[in-house]
């Protein structure tokens, strides 16, 4: 039975006008340089496009659509508590540009591992972390719209051990050059409304302290060392909402490298932005960062 997940955040988080959306995406992609591609994986933000569209464009610019046939989208769960990961029960995802087809075969393969559950349609449609990636995917892949599928994966609050399990399960897929992984994550959520006000005054204004904290995390992610990233999160508590999808990616890379010792991988952050510049303890902001992983 065909079931379509509606574009529930269109008209609020981004425009529901296909014409206007197409123009915005085109402008953001054209403003970014192709400097670290072709991407095997990207990290991209998932806030409203007015805040992070320009930043996200730098990640999506690194994709080579001609080689991509399957796109795995790992997004954090914001509304439902999950101890593991969940797959979409839909068959298609709606966007204002065109609908995207979910890869039923790969979803079945993953479900048969016993490590995944199905999310219901309400959970699917409430969650924005995956949906905010869909219009960018549709735009980048528009010349191959019938030649690719997507595999949406909702990632729960995983332990380090669980991240390692999912990383090992996904490592064979990241090894395939026809597969692309999209990791959906914003970075520091700072302010009293986020219950996070870490401030290192040696960095100057608050927004500079936030930037230094995010940069430290980004530098660690670039080392592709999952243990170092976990220790960073424990030490500073940085409110990176996609920390678990990022952790799964790092574990998948580590597992892949253990089986392919001669394969060099390089992850690089390409763009960083903040929703606003915090000057006092009553301000708040969310940070955005885009990265691309290439195999050399």
Entry pTM: 0.97
How many angstroms separate the CA atoms of 294 and 267, rounded? 6
How many angstroms separate the CA atoms of 280 and 206, rounded? 7
Q: Give the confidence band of 288 by pLDDT, cuts at 50, 70, 90.
A: very high
Q: Give the confidence band of 79 by pLDDT, cuts at 50, 70, 90.
A: confident
Tell me, what's the pLDDT at 260? 76
Tell me, what's the pLDDT at 219? 98
Look at residue 81 and tell me if it is in a domain. Answer: yes
Q: What are the distances in angstroms from CA 228 to CA 97, 125, 221, 240?
A: 40, 34, 8, 15
* Burial of 176: CB neighbours in 10 Å, binned 0-12, 13-18, 19+: exposed
* Burial of 40: CB neighbours in 10 Å, binned 0-12, 13-18, 19+: buried
DSSP string covering 74-116, please?
A: EEE-SSS--SSEEEE--SEE--SS--EEB-HHHHHHHHTTTSE
Give, in degrees to the nearest 5, the angle at Cα 212 between 39 and 234: 85
CATH number of the domain where residue 224 is located: 3.40.830.10
Please list, in sequence order, all residues whose beta carbon lies within 8 angstroms of the beta carbon of residue 243, skipping any fewer than 6 positions away: 76, 185, 229, 233
What number is the average pLDDT over the span 43-47? Answer: 98
What number is the average pLDDT over the span 15-43? Answer: 97
Burial track 61-74 (b if 16+ CB lie within 10 A, e otherwise)? bbbebeebbbbbbb
Look at residue 218 and tell me if it is in a domain. Answer: yes
Look at residue 191 and tell me if it is in a domain. Answer: yes
How many angstroms separate the CA atoms of 36 and 26, rounded? 19
pLDDT exceeds 70 at position 82 = yes
Q: Pick from 107, 135, 106: which is nearest to 119 by CA? A: 107
What number is the average pLDDT over the span 147-171? Answer: 97
DSSP annotation of 120: P
Q: Pick from 33, 47, 62: which is nearest to 189 by CA? A: 47
**Under 8 Å between Cβ of 252 and 224:** no
Look at residue 113 and tell me if it is in a domain. Answer: yes
Beta bridge partners of 72: 151, 181
Sign of CA dihedral 260, 140, 122, 111: negative
Map tokens 């989208």 to a residue.
Answer: 73
Look at residue 172 and tell me if it is in a domain. Answer: yes
Q: Which domain holds residue 59?
A: 28-295
Q: Look at residue 119 and give its three-state secondary structure.
A: strand
218-252 pLDDT per residue, tens: 999 999 999 999 999 999 999 999 999 999 999 99
Look at residue 254 and tell me if it is in a domain. Answer: yes
Look at residue 3 and tell me if it is in a domain. Answer: no
How many structural domains does the chain have?
Answer: 1
Look at residue 85 and tell me if it is in a domain. Answer: yes
Peptide bond into 38 cis (omega under 30): yes
**Under 8 Å between Cβ of 184 and 13:** no
pLDDT exceeds 70 at position 1 = no
**First and final C-alpha spacing in the chain:** 42
Counting residues of the chain whose pLDDT is more than 70, the rounded percentage is: 99
How many angstroms separate the CA atoms of 249 and 223, rounded? 12
pLDDT exceeds 80 at position 128 = yes
């Amino acid at each position: 039975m065909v079931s379509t997940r509606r574009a529930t955040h269109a008209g609020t988080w981004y425009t529901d006008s296909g014409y206007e959306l197409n123009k915005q995406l085109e402008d953001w992609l054209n403003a970014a340089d192709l400097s670290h591609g072709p991407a095997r994986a990207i990290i991209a933000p998932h806030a409203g496009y007015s805040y992070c569209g320009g930043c996200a464009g730098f990640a999506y610019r690194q994709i080579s659509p001609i080689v991509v046939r399957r796109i795995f989208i790992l997004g954090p769960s914001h509304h439902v508590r999950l101890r593991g990961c969940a797959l979409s029960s839909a068959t298609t995802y709606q966007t204002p540009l065109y609908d995207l087809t979910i890869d039923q075969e790969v979803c079945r393969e993953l479900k048969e591992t016993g490590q995944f559950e199905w999310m219901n349609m309400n959970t699917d449609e409430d969650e924005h972390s995956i949906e905010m990636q869909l219009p960018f995917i549709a735009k980048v892949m528009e010349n191959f719209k019938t030649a690719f599928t997507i595999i949406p994966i909702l990632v729960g609050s995983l332990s380090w051990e669980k991240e390692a399990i999912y990383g090992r399960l996904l490592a064979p897929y990241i090894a395939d050059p026809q597969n692309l992984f999209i990791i959906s994550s914003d970075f520091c959520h700072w302010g009293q409304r986020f219950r996070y006000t870490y401030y290192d005054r040696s960095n100057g204004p608050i927004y500079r302290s936030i930037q230094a904290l995010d940069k430290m995390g980004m530098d660690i992610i670039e080392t592709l060392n999952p243990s170092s990233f976990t220790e960073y999160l424990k030490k500073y508590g940085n409110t990176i909402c996609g920390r678990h999808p990022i952790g799964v990616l790092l574990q998948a890379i580590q597992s892949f490298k253990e089986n392919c010792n001669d394969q060099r991988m390089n992850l690089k952050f390409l763009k960083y932005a903040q929703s606003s510049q915090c000057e006092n303890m009553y301000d708040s902001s969310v940070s955005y960062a885009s990265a691309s992983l290439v195999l050399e």
